[in-house]
Chain A
Amino acid sequence: MIKYTLKRIGMALLTLLIITFLLFVLVRIMPGNPFPSERMSADQIQNKRAEMGLDDPILTQFIRYMGNVLHGDFGKGTSLYYGAPISTVLSTAISNSFRIGGIAVLLGSLVGLLLGITAALNRGKFLDGFCTVFSILGVCVPSYVFLIFLQYTFSFKIPFFPYFFDANRFLFSSVIPSVSLSLFTMSTIARFTRNEMVDVFDSDYVKLAESKGMYGRNLVMKHVLRNALIPIVTVLAPLIVDLLTGALVVEKIYGINGIGKLMVDAIAGEGIDYNYVLALGILYSALYIGIMLVVDLLYGVLDPRIRVSAKGKEA
């Protein structure tokens, strides 16, 4: 298991390095001039380029950049937040995004799990139907549409929640974005939990437990839920990744200073420069790869059969 874990971590780091290199090369060969040339003479530009090390071979530049990144220095933006180190801007953005994303994941998985369990226990009844409709709705409608509706209803028509995000009232103003972000996770988890639990209910070992005289909460908790949970953990990873995407527009619409908003600005090319694109690209890839890695390892911890087969492959 330790060997497998180390190998997976090594692979993940290598992949991240390759991606970073590709991004770096792509951004460096990008057309355009990093300096506003009409106010600078050719000599000045040349000096500035030399000063920033832009004339060195690309590999040297890359190694220098990676060295800085490992020290937490992503360089400086050249247009937006002029002069502010990117790492400072990013760390505020990350803390905002992670708190809202964290609330959304917690809310989504807890409510989704509850909803799924209730639906499975009341199979074929009203609650089951409600769960199905709800999960279909959550999958079909993008999270930003939910946000627009919640914002319109609870901030504009009934002015209860703030219309835009307010960092001074963090919890209060993160209700609307967290809820709208969590709906996709919630509906997927609910549907998945329901189907898994129904499958487990039909399995032989649950029938055996029932024939031994187990029933009610004991049966559900000890036998059904435990076995239904394993596959549920595995869908959580792609959900979190989707959450990252969904958070983009949600942060943009609700005015949250998060990595999603920075990313949208980068994509839309609104006052964002190449250094930001590079830093955000590395950050997103690292997040993505990290989540995949955690799930892979978690899968092995949760299900001994996978652990054994992975070991078998190694041997």
Chain B
Amino acid sequence: MEKSYTPVKEDFTLLDRQDLYTDKNFASQSYWKGVAIHFFKNRRAVIGLVIVLLIILFAAIGPSLNEFGYRDIVQYRNENNKRVVAKGIAPQIPALHKLFTGEEPEGNFSSYTFLFGTDDLGRDLWTRTWYGARVSLLIAFVTIIIDMIIGMSYGLISGYFGGMTDNIMQRVVEVANSVPRLVIVSVLAIFMPKGIWLVIIALLLTEWIGMSKIARAEMLKTKEQEYVLASRTLGARNGHIIFREILPNTIGPIITQVMFSIPTAIFTEAFLSFVGVGIALPMCSVGTLIEDGFNNITTLPYQILPPIIVLALLMLGFNFIGDGLREALAPKLEDM
């Protein structure tokens, strides 16, 4: 009978890093990686993302792609030293004209490229459209992110403490939620001067409510879980538990809500600017551009199209992203 073998130290060697075997077939993936994979598998979500990114890109660089500023009136002085203004020129691309007809185009401003035409004052609409998109997007992003912070904190705190705190905080939400946005705007409009701040404050006052509701519901779902109890047992303070432990686990639905709130914000801004209390001239936003286009619709009907298309595409893009995120965050079994 053989003697049983006792292992000695020399029997073992250290493995190199590349020799380590990881299970690639059933690899576990992080939560956010899974969300990203689901999101990018969704064709509509990707289309939405591409549309929004393209519009953001154009809003960022579009106005500087040609030589006209958003408030510049395109004009020159002719030989008699008279001012000639490029008023109401339909979209034109001289290079294409030459390509198809083989002739140089004739007439004033025929050598200028106006992709979207010019407005009734002679300002280039390409520049103004993208500048307006920039203003609208900036307003929407800034207000919605502030709203997210307010609403999220409100909802999380209300849900976490529960009891009397929750009761009082929810009554406030109930009243705030019952005031139509229009009423808030109309009261604000007699308090404040018209302009960009009116739009921002009106949005700040209304959009946080939806977020706080979602944050509270998420909080109620997660606060009984073991990791919260563990954290509390280890002596964590309430602030730490709410914002460091629970917040990261509830952020998904809140971001989805943000994606749905941004189009609402853009819509509201467009509506207010259209009514005439939003962005003041000579600045422009999608809303004021639509209003300008509407005022000139019988004479310059092409003028209204670019801002409307940009607005519709933004709505479409953000809605698709929101839908995609919602599905990616809570995938149904059949989609896996």
Contact = CB atoms under 8 A, between A and B. Distances in A.
Interface of A: 11, 15-16, 18-19, 23, 26-27, 30, 136-137, 139-142, 144-145, 148, 152, 156, 241, 244-245, 248-249, 252-253, 263-264, 266-269, 274, 277, 280-281, 284-285, 287-289, 292
Contact of A141 (B179, B190, B276, B312): B312
Contact of B275 (A140, A249, A281): A249
A268 B185 CA distance: 10
A268 B276 contact: yes
B187 A280 contact: no
A241 B180 CA distance: 9
Given A15-B175, A30-B190, A152-B301, A285 B180 contact: yes
B187 A139 contact: no
B316 A277 contact: no
A30 B180 CA distance: 20
B171 to A, nearest CB: 9
Interface of B: 174-175, 178-183, 185-187, 189-191, 194, 267, 270-272, 274-277, 290, 294, 297-298, 301, 304, 308, 311-313, 315-316, 319
B178 to A, nearest CB: 5
B174 A15 contact: yes
Given A141-B308, A142-B267, A245-B271, A280 B186 contact: yes
Contact of B183 (A18, A23, A152, A253): A23
Given A27-B187, A30-B191, A277-B187, A244 B316 contact: no
A152 B181 contact: no
21 contacts: A16-B178, A19-B179, A27-B187, A141-B308, A142-B271, A142-B311, A148-B294, A148-B304, A152-B297, A245-B181, A248-B271, A263-B186, A268-B189, A268-B275, A277-B186, A277-B187, A281-B183, A281-B186, A284-B182, A287-B180, A289-B178
Contacts of B175: 15, 18-19
B277 A267 contact: yes
B190 A245 contact: no
B15 to A, nearest CB: 51
A31 to B, nearest CB: 8
B186 A266 contact: yes
Contacts of B308: 141, 145
A140 B319 contact: yes
A142 B270 contact: yes
Nearest to A18: B175
- Pick the most buried of B270, B294, B304: most chain A CB atoms within 10 A of its CB: B294
B169 to A, nearest CB: 15
A26 B275 contact: no
Contact of B315 (A140, A249, A267, A268): A140
Contact of B190 (A142, A156, A244, A277): A277
Given A142-B270, A142-B271, A248 B178 contact: no
Given A15-B175, A253-B294, A268-B189, 6 more contacts: A142-B270, A145-B290, A252-B275, A269-B189, A269-B277, A285-B183
A145 B274 CA distance: 11
A139 B319 contact: yes
A136 B44 CA distance: 12
A26 B290 CA distance: 33
Nearest to B317: A140
B187 A285 contact: no
B184 to A, nearest CB: 9
Given A30-B190, A268-B276, A156 B319 contact: no
A280 B183 contact: yes
B140 to A, nearest CB: 15
Contacts of B178: 15-16, 19, 285, 288-289, 292
- Pick the most buried of B183, B276, B290: most chain A CB atoms within 10 A of its CB: B183
Contacts of A274: 190
Contacts of A269: 189-190, 194, 277
B318 to A, nearest CB: 10
4 A-B pairs with least C-beta separation: A140-B315, A281-B183, A140-B312, A288-B180
A287 B182 CA distance: 12
Contact of A23 (B187, B267, B275, B277): B187
Contacts of A252: 275
A248 B182 contact: yes
A118 B187 CA distance: 45
A263 B182 contact: yes
B185 A140 contact: no
Nearest to A19: B179
A19 B178 CA distance: 8
Contact of B182 (A27, A139, A245, A253): A245
B182 A140 contact: no
- Pick the most buried of B181, B187, B189, B194: most chain A CB atoms within 10 A of its CB: B187
Contacts of A23: 183, 187
Contacts of A15: 174-175, 178
A285 B180 CA distance: 6
B139 to A, nearest CB: 17
